[in-house]
Structure 1
Amino acid sequence: MKEPPKPLHAKVESAYHIIGKKWVNLIIHVLMEGPKRFNELNAIIPVLSKRMLNERLKELEEYDILKRHVIPERPVRTEYTLTEKGKELGDALFHVEAWGMKWF
């Protein structure tokens, strides 16, 4: 059975719920540059613990904001890349970043 569409306030609240989580915006910002492996993300954002990075990546994957790609080479590598939905969010967050750079 298909769910009825969410009312406007629920959609807006869902969007703020996602981007309001600590580290989400910075992870998206870094992935706007292109695909990154877990260790690359961890090196670029060293103040973010591996546990929290893993948690946020899983959440963003559940929201279809990023995709996790397993590359079956030796050793096995995993890369994270933004989906179209994630890229659009990154574009929107760019304006927030510009506002922050101007006013803070």
Structure 2
Amino acid sequence: MHDPNSQECQAIRRVLDVLGRSWAGPLLWAMLKGAERYGEIKAGAPGVSDAVLATRLREFTEHGLAERLVDPGPPVQVRYVLTDAGRDTRTLLGELQAYAARHPEVLR
């Protein structure tokens, strides 16, 4: 039996704690497709609330998945740009999509 306190299990748990939060996947996917501004990201994840979007963007920056860049303007513009770590989620999200396609019975 595998030790749930092993480094491997702890690492998986930490990743899922961040990427498994509500709307994290769809928001990262929108950003991977090129959305950088708040409105673009929101449009890329229809149905997400402003509160959840703002929270996830803050978390993405806190965890090093994205950088918040402010162009002083005028007008002031804020962009959220994925870091290398954020861009690396493309592989993870792609694998999750492939898993879902192969095993729809698990997702009922």
Partner of 1:98: 98
Provide the identity percentage: 24
Matched length: 99
TM-score normalized with structure 2 length? 0.81
Runs of 4+ in 1 over 6 A off after TM superposition: none
Letter in 1 for 2:49: S
Matches within 5 A, 1:1-104: 7-104=7-104
* Partner Cα distance (1:98, 1:7) in 2: 26
3-state SS of paired residue (2:91):
helix
- 1:20-64 deviation digits (Å, cap 9, x = unpaired): 101001111111122510011122223101111000110111110
Partners of 1:35 and 1:82 within 8 A in 2: no
TM-score normalized with structure 1 length? 0.83
Larger relative contact order (CA 8 Å, sep ≥ 6): 1
Letter in 2 for 1:46: P
**Unaligned 5+ runs, structure 2:** 1-5
* Partner Cα distance (2:65, 2:79) in 1: 14
